[in-house]
Amino acid sequence: MKQQRATKADATRRDFLTGTAGLAGAVALAFVATIRSSRATPAMMQAAIKQLVGEAPIRKGKVMIDVPPLVENGNAVPVTITVDSPMTAADHVKSIHLFNQKNPQPNVIGVHLGPRAGKAALSTRIKLADAQTIVAVAQLSDGSFWSDEADVIVTIAACVEDLQ
């Protein structure tokens, strides 16, 4: 009789423990989900690119991203984007946009230029929150879009670190 009671108490204790563990797991999952959602996903990058180009097709080529494949510090990653174009009044690059997959926001930089540029190229330094793929899209004066992508491995992430 006594033994039976003890088993019953054990069972409730076990139920309680599994119950709380499950709850804790659910809370942890929800927490991870909220952290994840504060970062841009490849889907968000695709949406940002779609917002730029609309329904127009994007072709590979002409654009070239020059970025180190492995960077130590994601707080300042040197990037050079070059577009192969004669830059004449009839055939020039109108804009160049850079996107990323895993920073909190998918946009990095958008530049507007014209035949006065002489050469369609720019260099800057960007922040990368994680190892990811960056995509450059260029719009030409004839309305066509060209792109290139590059993979970057980042060892120290930027953007989301805390000061504590």
Partner 1 sequence: MTVRTLINVPAKARRGEVIEIKTLIAHPMETGFRVGLNGALIARDIITTFRCTYNGEEIFRADFSPAIAANPFLTFFTVATATGTIRFEWTGDDGFSVTESAPITVE
- Which stretch in 22-30, 49-57, 71-79, 142-150 sits in contact with partner 1 by CB under 8 A? 71-79
Q: How remote is the C-alpha of 83 from its chain's centroid?
A: 22
Question: Total residues at the site for partner 1 (CB under 8 A)?
Answer: 36
According to DSSP, the residues that pair with 153 across neighbouring strands are 70
For partner 1, the binding residue among 46, 64, 104, 149 (CB under 8 A) is: 104
Q: Which residues of 41-71 are buried (b: 16+ CB within 10 A; e: fewer)?
A: eeebbeebbeebbeeeebeeebbebebeeeb
Comparing CB distances to partner 1, the nearer of 58 and 111 is 111
Q: Report whether 83 contacts 121 (CB < 8 A).
A: yes
Q: Does 67 bind partner 1 (CB under 8 A)?
A: no
68 binds partner 1 (CB under 8 A): no
Say whether residue 36 binds partner 1 (CB under 8 A).
no
Token reading at 147: 């792109």
Nearest to 85 by CA among 97, 77, 94: 94
The SS3 call for residue 126 is: strand
How many Cβ atoms from other residues are within 10 Å of residue 117's Cβ?
16
Q: How far is the CB of 97 from partner 1 (least distance, A)?
A: 9
Could you tell me which stretch among 52-60, 62-70, 73-81, 135-143 binds partner 1 (CB under 8 A)? 73-81
The residue from 8, 14, 50, 112 that contacts partner 1 (CB under 8 A) is 112
Q: Which residues bind partner 1 (CB under 8 A)?
A: 38, 75-77, 100, 103-105, 107-114, 116-128, 158-164
